[in-house]
């Protein structure tokens, strides 16, 4: 892979070459702006990150988490860009360090766009609904690939779908982002259904093989993105690709943020004491180059909330530096497509990050309010699918026709739609809801509450 292709600033669905000639804003900064002004991004303010948002305090939601991941990603991208330009100085004629940071920031900002209401529990509910109603596959004549899109429903693929098509104005290029940003967004550049005989080399140990980044409906658009950015091909049928090198930085930024910032939320909600936070994060702080001076400054802080914020900031900064070194040390393998491991799995402080900090994260995820939201969220999404799928499973029934009337027209089927597309539109409708809207709609449709007139 080479950077002149990997940094392709041409936009999907736009063949103009003079589109981004304005000097004050790069093509990739425009990508960032398009995402942040999108309705899909705004909806994340009512999507739970981990904890339910209480009335008495503030914890992170998907929107604030995404903003923070984007900022950490920008720092990582800038550091990587500086390294790359010094290693390949001929690139300095066309690119600056900030270009790399802008791409990572834009992709990181979008990384959770496709998450359905209630996160992974929403994904599980969608997958389980189709798995338990497997007659749909034969009745709707779906291929193995199409069926797996539903039974293994994946928010990453839903995010790519949002970015590239299916907007109310029928703009099939979606937000018209650059190929570089779209490729960097895809942490799992493969479809749900893989023909194992087509894989060039075994990929069981590849991090990018854990999930998938596009549905079969977007396979051609992703293949176009991969071709335009020169991603290395990992399958004979050109459906599986190596990650864009900057995708590793998006993943690392996400890992750093949720590992550390979830602890801060846990403290604010009273699940972790200041002593527990100190036991978790001071070992990280003491690995900085000026640890003793930093410790003196920390001890001078009187307010416990400020102490937690100080430790959070220092910890993130240390992890950014360690991640940068891992990227640099594995650069050649990353560029060849052979490296496929989470950067944060091999940083110097992995013993702390994946040891006591991970255990604390798991402890927080097992708190009663978190589990209650997970259980309720599953029931809500499964229940909504049961109802709205009747539009296609039992189209002549009076209730199906009424359900169609309350569904936004952008999700209505068109005459040209395949059976797969018809089903996916229903899933799109439900998966793009906010937590609050999904819960309220479920209550109204199940008779638990009535709308006001």
- For residue 212, give both structure tokens: 């998938």
- Provide mean pLDDT across the span 197-224: 88
Q: Which residue has the higher pLDDT, 59 or 376?
A: 376
Question: May I ask the CATH architecture of the domain 117-152+369-453?
Answer: Orthogonal Bundle (1.10)
Q: State the sign of the Cα–Cα–Cα–Cα dihedral 402, 397, 376, 362.
A: negative
The pLDDT assigned to 167 comes to 55
- Provide mean pLDDT across the span 410-433: 94
User: Which region among 1-5, 351-355, 426-430 has the lowest average model confidence (pLDDT)?
Assistant: 351-355
Residue 449's H or E segment, with its range, is none
The pLDDT assigned to 59 comes to 82
Q: Give the model confidence (pLDDT) of 307-356 as tens digits.
A: 999 999 999 999 999 999 999 999 999 999 999 999 999 999 999 998 99
The pLDDT assigned to 198 comes to 83
The angle formed by the CA atoms of residues 418, 419 and 420, to the nearest 5 degrees, is 90
| pLDDT band at 376; cut points 50, 70, 90 | very high
Question: CB of 210 within 8 A of CB of 340?
Answer: no
Whether residue 169 is predicted with pLDDT greater than 60 in this model: the reply is: no
Q: What three-state secondary structure class fits 66?
A: helix
CA separation for the pair 431, 153 (Å, rounded): 10
Question: CB of 108 within 8 A of CB of 159?
Answer: no
- Provide mean pLDDT across the span 137-159: 97
Whether residue 36 is predicted with pLDDT greater than 70 in this model: the reply is: yes
The pLDDT assigned to 239 comes to 93
Question: CB of 49 within 8 A of CB of 61?
Answer: yes
CA separation for the pair 118, 303 (Å, rounded): 34
Q: Give the model confidence (pLDDT) of 123-136 as tens digits.
A: 999 999 999 999 99
Q: Give the model confidence (pLDDT) of 71-81 as tens digits.
A: 999 999 999 99
| pLDDT band at 57; cut points 50, 70, 90 | low
* Phi, psi (deg, nearest 5) at residue 235: -140, 150
Closest CA to 235 of 269, 267, 206: 206
CA separation for the pair 335, 3 (Å, rounded): 9
Secondary structure (DSSP) of 114-146 = TPPTTHHHHHHHHHHHHHHTTHHHHHTT--HHH
- For residue 168, give both structure tokens: 């109310």
Secondary structure (DSSP) of 256-300 = HHHHHHHHHHHHHTTSS-HHHHHHHHHHHHTTSTTHHHHHHHHHT
Q: Domain extents for the chain?
A: 117-152+369-453
Task: Report the greatest alpha carbon distance in the chain.
Answer: 73
Q: Report the 10 Å Cβ neighbour count for 452.
A: 4
The pLDDT assigned to 218 comes to 95
The angle formed by the CA atoms of residues 286, 287 and 291, to the nearest 5 degrees, is 45
Closest CA to 39 of 186, 215, 179, 163: 163
Residue 2's H or E segment, with its range, is none
The pLDDT assigned to 94 comes to 92
């Amino acid at each position: 892979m080479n950077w002149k292709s990997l940094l392709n600033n041409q936009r999907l669905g736009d063949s103009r070459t003079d589109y981004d000639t304005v000097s004050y804003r790069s093509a990739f900064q425009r990508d960032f702006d398009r995402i942040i002004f999108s309705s899909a991004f705004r909806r994340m303010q009512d999507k739970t990150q981990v904890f339910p948002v209480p009335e008495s305090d503030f914890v992170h939601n998907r929107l604030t988490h995404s903003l923070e991941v984007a900022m950490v990603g920008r720092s990582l991208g800038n550091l990587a860009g500086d390294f790359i330009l010094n290693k390949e100085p001929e690139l300095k004629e066309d690119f600056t360090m900030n270009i790399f940071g802008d791409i990572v920031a834009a992709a990181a900002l979008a990384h959770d766009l496709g998450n359905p209401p209630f996160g992974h529990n929403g994904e599980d509910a969608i997958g389980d609904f189709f798995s338990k109603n497997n007659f749909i596959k034969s009745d709707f004549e779906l291929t193995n690939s199409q069926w797996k899109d539903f039974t293994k429903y994946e928010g990453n693929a839903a995010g790519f779908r949002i970015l590239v098509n299916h907007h109310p104005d029928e703009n099939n290029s979606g937000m018209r982002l650059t190929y570089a940003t779209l490729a960097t967004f895809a942490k799992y550049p493969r479809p749900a259904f893989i023909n194992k005989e087509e894989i060039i080399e075994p990929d069981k140990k590849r991090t990018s093989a854990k999930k998938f980044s596009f549905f079969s409906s977007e396979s051609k658009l992703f293949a176009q993105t991969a071709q335009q950015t020169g991603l290395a091909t990992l399958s004979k049928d050109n459906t599986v690709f190596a990650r864009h090198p900057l995708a590793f930085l998006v993943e690392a930024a996400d890992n750093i943020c949720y590992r550390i910032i979830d602890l801060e939320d846990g403290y604010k909600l009273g699940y972790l004491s200041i002593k527990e936070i100190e036991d978790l994060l001071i070992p990280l702080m003491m690995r900085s180059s000026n640890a003793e001076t930093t410790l003196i400054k920390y001890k001078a802080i009187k307010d416990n909330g400020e102490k937690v914020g100080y430790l959070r900031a220092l910890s993130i900064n240390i992890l950014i530096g360690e991640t940068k070194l891992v990227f640099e040390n594995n650069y050649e393998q990353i560029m060849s497509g052979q490296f496929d491991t989470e950067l944060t799995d091999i940083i110097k402080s992995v013993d702390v990050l994946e040891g006591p900090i991970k255990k604390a994260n798991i402890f927080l995820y097992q708190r009663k309010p978190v589990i209650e939201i997970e259980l309720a969220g599953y029931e809500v999404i499964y229940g909504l699918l049961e109802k709205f799928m009747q539009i296609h499973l039992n189209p002549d029934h009076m209730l199906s026709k009424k359900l169609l009337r309350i569904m936004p027209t952008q999700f209505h089927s068109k005459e040209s739609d395949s059976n797969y597309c018809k089903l996916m539109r229903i899933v799109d409708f439900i998966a793009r809801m906010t937590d609050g809207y999904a819960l309220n709609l479920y209550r109204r449709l199940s008779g638990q509450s009535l709308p006001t007139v």
